[in-house]
Each structure stands twice: as C-alpha cells, then as structure tokens.
Structure 1
Amino acid sequence: MEKTKHSFSYWQWRTIIGTMIGYAVFYFVRKNLSFAIPGLTAEYGISKAALGAILAIVSIVYGVSKLLNGFLADRVNGRWHMVAGLSVCTIVNVLFGFGAMICAYFVGSDYGETFTHALILLFGILLVVNNIFQGCGFPPCNRLMTHWVPPHELSTKMSLWNTSHSIGAFVAAVLCGFIMGQFGTDQSGNNELRERVVANTQSVTSSMDPEAARAYVDGMLQHYGAWQWTFWVPAAIAAIGVVFIIIVLRDTPKSVGLPELPGTVKSGKSREESKAHRQFIWNHVIKSKLVWILALADFFVYVVRMAVLDWGPTFLQENRGLSPAAAASVVAIFEVFGILGMLSAGVITDKLFKGRGQRTSVFCMIGVVLFIAAFCFFPLQTDPLLLCGFLICAGFFLYGPQALIGVIASNQVTRRGASSAVGIIGFVSYIAPIVSGYVFGILADTPSVGWDGVFKIMIIVAVAGALTMAVLWNVKADAYETEAAATDSNKLEEDSLDG
C-alpha cells in the first residue's frame, strides 16, 4: 500500500510538471508573432490594422478550438492529444519563417503591393491553422490533472499549474527579444533597403525626433530578417517539447498499473443520469446569470492583457523608444509579476475574503486602472524605467482576476458543471482580441488617436471590468452547501417514493 502511494505521488508530480512544461512550450509557438511584428512592418510595410485584423480572427478561432477540444479531451488520450497539437504548431512555425520566400516564389517578386497582400494572406492562413491546433494545449492538460489529482487537492495544484502560461510567455519574450536584437543580417549600408524601411516606418518615426528616428531605422537594418528566426528557433524548441511530452506523460493511473482516483472514471451512466446532468448544465451553467457576468468580466480582463502581450513590444519601441531587447524584457517581466500577482490573489482570497474571489478581483482591477493611468499620463520625458515599472505593476494586478474568475465559476456551479462554465468563459474571453487586436490596431495607425488614445481606452475597459466584478460582491464563496441540500432533498423524495 505504501509503495503504491509513493508510486502514485511520483507519477502525479511527474504529470503536473510535465504538463506545465508542455503547455509552456505551446506559448513559444503562439506568442512569437508579437515580436516579429516590428520587423514585418519595417521590411514589408504591413500595417498594424492588417496584423490586428488577423490577430482578432485567429483569437476567435482559438476560442472555438479550445471549446471543441474540451469536449474531445474527455474522449481521447491526453498525451497524444497534446503531441498532435504541438507537432502541427511546430510545422506551421517553420513555414512562418519561410513565408516571405514562399510568397516571393509564387508572386515572382520579394516586395511590392502584390507580394505584401500574398504575405498577409499566407500569414492569415497559417495563423488560423496554428490556433486551431493551439486549442490542443489546455484541454488535455485539464483532463490529465483531473485524472492524477484528487478533488480536495485540485484547487491548490491547479493554481500552481496555472503559472505555466506565464512562464511560457516570459521565456518566449526573453528569447524572441534576444533574437530580434542579435539575429539577422546587417543591411545598414544598403541605401535601397534604407529608403524602403524609412518609407515603411514613416507612421512610427514621424513622432520621433530625427536622431531617434534614425536610430530606429538603423536598428531595423542592422538586424534585417531577424523576424524569421523568431519562428524558427521556437519551432526547434517545440520539436524538443514534443519528444519531451511523449517520454514524460502518461494518460491515466491505469496506464501505468496504478488504481484510478475515485470518481474520475465514469462509465455506464444510465439514461436518466445523463439526462439529469444535461438538465443541470442547462439550468445552472448555460442559463446562469453569474456565469455570463463572469464571462463579461473576463472579456474586459483579456482586452487589457492581450493588448499588452500582442502590441506591447511594438508600442514600447515606437512610442517609448526602447530597443527590441528592452521592450521584450519589459513584456517578460510583466509576465513574472503576473505570476506573483496570481499567487498573491489566491492567498488574499482565502485568508482575507474567505474564498470570495470576486472581492479580490475588484481591488485588483482598481490597481490595473491606477497603474495604466500612471503609465499613460506621465510625460514622455519620464524615466523609461519608471514608466515600464507602472506597466509591470499593472500586470501584477491584472493576472489575479484572470486566475480567480475560473475558480469563482467552478465554485459557484460546483464540479458538476465546472468544465462547461470555464469553457463558456474561455470562449467569450477570446473574443476580446477583436478589440485588442483589430480595433486597437486601427486606432494605433490613426494619427488623431495613436498609442496614447489606445491606452486611455484600456483604462476605460479596466474600469468596466472592476464594475462588472463588483456586481458579484455579496455572492457566497461557493454553492456546494446549496447543492448538498438539493441532493439530500432529492434523496429523501426518492426514499419516500420507494417506501
């Protein structure tokens, strides 16, 4: 018995750590486009509006994929589900790197309007495919965790597991920032290319003083073509990740000769039980006002978060004069502080607010508002380190609600409907890039609005998030007591009928 317990603990932690690393690697081949955008703009004149439209479309695709893969994950082997998704994403990222060469081959030119349109189309198609298979990341991890971690330990260990996406985004930011600052070929002596880059970055450099504008163009020319390596290097790491997942993970305890956790394997349900479960999902999840309020709040949170992650590197270079490496470092530290904020929010919720995560979320969103406002309204002449510090502190507060909203939903609909509730909230949240990607991309390109206007809108969105969470201020910490009372009542009714 002791040997079995020790063996189960070993495999449990092997699964937790393995899925954390595996899911983090998905971010290497998902968030790297953000760091390629400045290079693509400089070399080919692709507008932020066009890139924003693509980001918005593919994010919706990812949301749908995540929802559908959630249903699929309950029916297939978790390890091979992850392997299939990461393998396709690896291949797609290799093709991203060769995108310009592929378009030049078919178009017959490596520059011009036709070439640019072809490149945007190819990137759009590849991003759609990539995000379809990115949906194979979280659902199988969630399945594996529920098979290896008992319910009374799941909240704590899932909180730890949830740091995986921030770790992945952090490492990806550092890596891609280094690539953009060190890779590529030096074309500073090519006058034809210089004229092209100057023309393509006119909307960026027009607000800079001449010396800063010249330095920006020089930086792009010194690392010409570096954007390709932001796809190839992460793809190589993802390929190693595929092998890692195959070696480390197993699907269920039964697959390694261990007993299953009580309640994790449910087979042979009667028709009546299945009907009752569907009725529960309809009444207590799909028709729940609370679930949809949380989904709306998560939408506001994701608008702010995705705006920073998708446009942060570009904004910090164009509007604050940071180098590619420095801009990437800020985004990376933003993720690190997000992890700290996530863990802090969990402790505060349990210790101070007795499990009422919505109260923690309200204060967190107020913190987001204050620090983004400071970042936006302090003069441009302010020390860049101080300005970046404001943005990083906003990340600390922002990631608390992101982690807590799913926990709040799970506690309110109970474990009977937790996956469905989180699926709905996750789908709604990934509609957010219509705003953060497409709308913000257009506004950033609009001279009368620009980046300053975008950040002012982000403040309004954060205020809306705080007000939405405040609606739930007095909601109980969980509904398990209510569910238990309803179950006991049903049981008494059944017993009286049997008697």
Structure 2
Amino acid sequence: MLSRLLNFYKTGPDLPLQDLSQEDLDRIYKKHRRSVFLGITIGYGFFYVTRLSLSVVKKPILDAGLLTATELGYIGSALFFVYAFGKLFNGLLSDYANIRKFMATGLILSALVNLAFGMTSLFWVFVVLWGLNGWVQSMGAAPSVVTLSQWFATKERGSLYGVWYVSHSIGEAITFVGTAVVVSAFGWRAGFGVAGALAMAMGILLIFLLADRPRTLGLPTIGEYKDDPLALPQKGTTPLFRTQLKILKVPAVWILGLASALTYVSRYAINNWGILYLQEVKGYTLAQAGPIMGTAPIIGVLGGALSGFISDKVFYTNRHKATLLYGSLQIVGLGIFFYGPPDNVWLDYLGMGIFGFSVAGTVAFLGGLTAIDLTPREVTGAVMGFIGLFSYLGASLQDIVSGWLIDSGKTVTDGVTVYNFDAAVTFWFGAAVLSLAVAMTVWNVKPRTVL
C-alpha cells in the first residue's frame, strides 16, 4: 500500500526529447513556466488561508469560554511542531515528487481539515486536527521552491522567488480582512467553513496549473534550455539522499536555520496574536483590527516582490546586504507598532505596513533563498525542509510561550478578563533583533556547487 502510494506521487520517468524547433520549444516552455508559476504563487497563498484561519477567531473563542489563551497556544503550537518535521520530510520527498500531484493533494487535505475544525468544540480534537493540518501544510513551500529550481534559471530565481513569496501575503490578506468579515457576521465556525471551501476549489485548480519537471514532458532541463551551468544536474555517482545529508555539514545552513527560527517567532507572533493584541491592548473591535493587520500582508506584496529585485539588481545577488536592509526595517516596524504613542490608529497602520514590507523579505531570504543559493540545486528541497524545520520549531515554541505569557498576565476584575501583553511583546521584539544579529554572521560565506 505504502509502495503504491509513493509510486503515485513520485516524479515520472525521463521521456525522449521532443523533436522541436527552437520556436516551438520556446512556446511550450513559456506556456509551462507561466502556468506553474501562477499555480505555485496563488496556490501557496491559499495554504495560508487554511493555516491562519485560527488567528482571527481567538477572541470569540476566549469570550465564549471555550478555550483559554494557553490552550489556544497549544493548538497553534501543534500545527507548527508537526509542520516543522513535515516540512523536513516533505522537503526531502519534494526532490523526488511529481509536484503537480503532491502540492494539490496537500491543499485539498488542508481544506478538509478546516471544514472539520469548524464542526467541533473539544480541545483535544482541536489539537489533533490542527496538528494534522500542520502535516499537510508542509506539502506547499518546498514543492513550490523545487518547481522554481526545475523551471527557472539561476539568474531568474531571485526575482521570481520574491514574487512567489508574495503568495503568503495574498493568503494573509484574505484571512485578516476577508475571513475577519465572515467571522464578524456569521461567527467563528463560518470562518473555517469559508476558508476550507475556497482552498478546496484552489486545490482542484492546481491539478491543471502545475506540471512535473521538464524531462518528464520530453523537454530539456532548465540548465540545458537556458545554458545555466549552476542549474545543470550535479555529475557523479553519489545517491541523491546521501548528497542531501551532506547539507548537515554546512555550518551556514545551521546558522541560517537559527536566524530563520528567530524571525519566525516575531512573524507568527504578529500573525497569530496580533488581532487579539489589537483588541485587548489597543481596544479595537475585530472589524477594526482586521484591516490594520491586513495592512502587513498587503504592503508585504510590495516588499516581497521587491526583495528579489533588490537582492538581484541593487545588491548583485548579495542576499546578506538585502537581509540587513529588510531586517532593520522589520525592527523599526515592530518598534512603532508596540512602543509608539498610544491611541494613534495611523501609527498602528504605519507600523504594520513597515513590518509587512520588511518581513516578506527577511522570511524570503532567511527562510530559504540564501540557503539554496549556497548549496547545489539537487538538494533544494532538502535545504528548504531543513530550514523549515528550524523555522517552524521556532514558531511552535513561540505559540506555547506566547499563550503562557499572555495567560500569566491575565487579571479578572468584576468578572471582566484583561490580558497584559508586556512580557509577550518583549519576547517578540527581542526575537527580531536577535534574528538579524545571527544572520549577519554568515556575511562572507560563498556558494557551493558540490557538497
């Protein structure tokens, strides 16, 4: 049974090269490249719709007495903890997989989990379902990046990676604005139902948009097509899995994993607790808090799209300089949001806008692009999985610690519960500062074409 399942998802055999004129080859390649890029960009955005749906329903759940902040932290942590290991495992599988089948399956299953989540009220069922969601969520990022390495040349990848990474901003914007409106009007359960239905439709569409690697379609590899030596298959007799394991011997990959973990603490603190923070600390309603939070992913579209251009064209593919720029802006944005003068809605929008612009870049660089630039193309999925393991262990720890810190600062006066976020904010802001400091230690590391 397992063997049959693995065979279904594995990449197809190489087909003989089609006898095509250069004009026909260009036309076919362009068609596939356009389709797969559209698929991974929009498709991965909808992975975020089904990942962040819990973030906008926390106050309704707390107000109903259904769960505590600590329990919500454990539920959120279940997704990230399973996602961390799932991203490593599925990252390894992505180097062998038919991405069309693999990624579409992940999104469809995540949609089903969201539909089920809105139908229960039991804490342990919430934990199990959200942990399961973490596993199928891990079938999104690595396949997307593997697709980029299979269909696009090295000189194209930085800019396109930045554009692809706006997908998470698309998903966040849909969640923080669209899902928030649904929850305000129809209740928290409806939020999961709408998220699941939208993702189901997108998962089916992915089957038609995505494609297996070029050689399985009788097309030359991207390295051959674009005359790109860095994108050519690595020569040698070492099995791919043994080559993948060699990334563990690259210190820069470990360091970037730690830096990414720290930036994921601040990133998912905002994503998962930001709306509750705005409601509890700054006194906004859900309908008011949603658009403020929605500013981050909307401006993040610009930040993500420009991140590749800035690192490729302004800094001549030096990801470290771009990381310094974006990481510094991330700290500034959080500083304005958390420590700016109170009762100023425009400063809240400004802080979230700067944070959204900058975090789209820091996550793109630390969450994958810098590491895959430093390692051979054959291990792209493995590197993404390894960095993802670190990143989402950081996010998982964040949810547990944040929930505990928020609950620890809780006071009840005349039956009214008030949450103090001071300790949590210090934790979130400090993680962003440490992330940038750690990332700068790999400034002088050079790329490798062989491990």
- TM-score under structure 2 length normalisation: 0.84
Total equivalences in the alignment? 416
Helix, strand or coil at the partner of 1:29:
helix
* Aligned residue among 171, 179, 182 for 1:176: 179
1:457 maps to: 427
Deviations 1:78-110 (A, max 9, x none): 22212322222222111111113xxxxxxxxxx
Give 1:254 deviation, angstroms: 5.4
1:273 maps to: 237
Contact 1:16–1:161 under 8 Å retained in 2: yes
* Aligned residue among 63, 87, 107 for 1:42: 63
Contact 1:67–1:427 under 8 Å retained in 2: yes
The answer on 1:32 being equivalent to 2:35 is: no
* Aligned residue among 335, 339, 344 for 1:373: 335
2:38 maps to: 17
Give 1:167 deviation, angstroms: 1.2
Instruction: Give the whole-Å Cα distance in 2 for the aligned partners of 1:368 and 1:66.
Output: 25
Give 1:396 deviation, angstroms: 1.9
Contact 2:39–2:210 under 8 Å retained in 1: yes
Contact 2:330–2:358 under 8 Å retained in 1: yes
* Structure 1 residues 3 and 27: alpha-carbon distance in aligned structure 2, compared to 1, 3 A threshold: same
Instruction: Give the whole-Å Cα distance in 2 for the aligned partners of 1:420 and 1:72.
Output: 8
Larger-gyration structure (1/2): 1
What's the RMSD between the two structures over aligned residues? 2.7
Structure 1, unaligned runs of 5 or more: 101-118, 184-225, 487-499
1:110 maps to: none
The answer on 1:318 being equivalent to 2:280 is: yes
Instruction: Give the whole-Å Cα distance in 2 for the aligned partners of 1:227 and 1:92.
Output: 15
Deviations 1:435-456 (A, max 9, x none): 3211011111222882122112
The answer on 1:248 being equivalent to 2:248 is: no
1:471 maps to: 441
Instruction: Give the whole-Å Cα distance in 2 for the aligned partners of 1:464 and 1:3.
Output: 51
Give 1:156 deviation, angstroms: 2.7
1:140 maps to: 143
Sequence identity (%): 26
The answer on 1:291 being equivalent to 2:243 is: no
1:167 maps to: 170
Instruction: Give the whole-Å Cα distance in 1 for the aligned partners of 2:43 and 2:28.
Output: 22
Of 340-349 and 393-402, deviating more is: 340-349
Give 1:147 deviation, angstroms: 3.1
* Structure 1 residues 371 and 245: alpha-carbon distance in aligned structure 2, compared to 1, 3 A threshold: closer
* Structure 1 residues 40 and 401: alpha-carbon distance in aligned structure 2, compared to 1, 3 A threshold: same
* Structure 1 residues 12 and 440: alpha-carbon distance in aligned structure 2, compared to 1, 3 A threshold: same
Instruction: Give the whole-Å Cα distance in 2 for the aligned partners of 1:354 and 1:167.
Output: 27
The answer on 1:304 being equivalent to 2:270 is: no
Instruction: Give the whole-Å Cα distance in 2 for the aligned partners of 1:142 and 1:307.
Output: 25
Of 359-368 and 256-265, deviating more is: 256-265
Give 1:298 deviation, angstroms: 0.6
Contact 1:28–1:168 under 8 Å retained in 2: yes
1:386 maps to: 347
Instruction: Give the whole-Å Cα distance in 2 for the aligned partners of 1:72 and 1:410.
Output: 16
1:435 maps to: 397
Amino acid in the other structure paired with 1:458:
W
Amino acid in the other structure paired with 1:395:
G
Instruction: Give the whole-Å Cα distance in 1 for the aligned partners of 2:201 and 2:216.
Output: 24
- TM-score under structure 1 length normalisation: 0.77
Amino acid in the other structure paired with 2:61:
L
Contact 2:44–2:141 under 8 Å retained in 1: yes
Amino acid in the other structure paired with 1:340:
L
Contact 1:28–1:238 under 8 Å retained in 2: yes
* Structure 1 residues 421 and 456: alpha-carbon distance in aligned structure 2, compared to 1, 3 A threshold: same
Instruction: Give the whole-Å Cα distance in 1 for the aligned partners of 2:433 and 2:142.
Output: 31
Structure 2, unaligned runs of 5 or more: 1-20, 226-230, 411-418
Amino acid in the other structure paired with 2:34:
W
Give 1:260 deviation, angstroms: 4.7
Contact 2:315–2:322 under 8 Å retained in 1: yes
